[in-house]
């Protein structure tokens, strides 16, 4: 997995409304790959996550017409939160979120196309056309 950039402050996907700017919307769920081959483990093994930081969110881009010059999909933007000095990183994250002072850093990686899905044991994306709402009902077996 090659790192494309070092950690930098960023407002990832700035100006994009994830709720209305796309034809499809949905959710994703995943489990880390096992045996130290998951995304977080590999980033830590390669020294790409600074001490005290945690992975707060990722954006996986498989294809994009709007990718910045020099960024060729697939790539993963990893949002890192600095929880240095906090006993519970999740509590620290929620406190920072409530205060509006997130101070996130972004790390962009470009795994080989075949390696991207190997970062996860399970990776499921659920999409519906914009305007089609299922609500909380589980229609996956309909």
Q: Which domain holds residue 46?
A: 2-12+25-122
Question: Beta partners for 80?
Answer: 55, 105
Kindly state the percentage of the chain with pLDDT values over 90.
Answer: 51
CA dist 133 and 118 (Å) reads 31
pLDDT at position 142 is 58
| Domain assignment present for 141 | no
pLDDT at position 22 is 83
| Domain assignment present for 138 | no
Mean pLDDT across 25-49: 92
CA dist 14 and 139 (Å) reads 33
| Domain assignment present for 35 | yes
pLDDT at position 113 is 76
**DSSP one-letter code for 94:** H
Task: Give just the sign of the alpha carbon dihedral 125, 54, 10, 108.
Answer: negative
| Domain assignment present for 17 | no
Q: Is the pLDDT reported for residue 111 higher than 60?
A: yes
pLDDT at position 15 is 46
User: Can you give 47-74 as a three-state secondary structure string?
Assistant: CCCCCCEEEEEEEEECCCCCCCCCCCCC
11-24: pLDDT as tens digits: 444 445 555 578 99
User: Which region holds residue 13: left if phi is over 0, alpha if psi is between -120 and 50, else beta?
Assistant: left
CA dist 59 and 104 (Å) reads 14
| Domain assignment present for 140 | no
| Domain assignment present for 96 | yes
| Domain assignment present for 18 | no
């Amino acid at each position: 997995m090659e790192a494309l950039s070092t950690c930098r402050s960023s407002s990832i996907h700035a100006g994009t409304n994830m709720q209305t700017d796309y034809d499809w919307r949905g959710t994703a769920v995943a489990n880390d790959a096992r045996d130290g081959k998951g995304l977080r483990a590999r980033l830590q093994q390669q020294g790409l996550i600074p001490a005290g930081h945690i992975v707060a969110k990722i954006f996986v881009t498989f294809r994009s017409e709007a990718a910045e010059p020099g960024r060729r999909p697939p790539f993963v933007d990893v949002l890192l939160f600095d929880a240095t000095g906090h006993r519970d990183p999740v509590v620290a994250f929620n406190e920072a979120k409530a205060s509006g002072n997130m101070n996130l850093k972004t790390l962009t990686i470009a795994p080989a196309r075949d390696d991207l899905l190997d970062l996860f044991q399970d990776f499921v994306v659920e999409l519906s056309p914009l305007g089609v709402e299922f609500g909380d009902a589980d229609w996956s077996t309909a």
